[in-house]
Amino acid sequence: MDAILENTVTLEGHQDRVWGVAWNPSGTLLASCGGDKTIRLWGLEGSKYVCKSLLEGPHQRTIRSVAWSPCGRKMASASFDATVGIWEHKDGQEFELSTTLEGHENEVKSVAWSPSGSLLATCSRDKSVWIWEVLEDDDDFECISVLHSHTQDVKCVKWHPTEEVSTQ
């Protein structure tokens, strides 16, 4: 049987190309990011999806990728400005930027949380993959490994679904 894909909704709001989307773990919010340097959080109101939050400010260039932490309280954004933003949802408030990770020498293309949420992988046009550890106070990150085995830019990182093993 051939599967047929059908467009069920079009979300309008970004002022430039959308580069990435990601559902939160509970499937209630969809994050989108793009060339307008913003992240939009979409959710249902009645039978329509609406933009619930607009996150902007820290990134100076296109946001290429967003990823939710397994608990859904944090989100990471990868930007062409060579930074990674860590956004946090505290006590029912709006998402706020809690920290910015720096170190890549060029565009950050992708971010991914490990299944436990204790590690974050980032990759870049600089041909490297960085592994960041979430420190105990939950607001700080430490780079614990930099992998330089690629000969071209690294476009995507993913973790094994149940183990702390990354692929790139």
Strand pairing class (48-56; 63-68): unpaired
Q: Splitting the chain (168 residues) into consecutive groups of 10 residues, what average pLDDT does each group show? A: 87 96 96 97 94 93 97 95 91 86 90 95 89 83 89 90 73
Two tokens, residue 53: 């939050």
Stated pTM of the model: 0.91
**Spatial separation of the C-alpha atoms in residues 71 and 115, rounded to whole Å:** 10
- With beta carbons less than 8 A apart as the criterion, state whether 78 and 86 touch: no
- With beta carbons less than 8 A apart as the criterion, state whether 65 and 111 touch: yes
> Three-state SS string across 64-77, please?
EEEEECCCCCEEEE
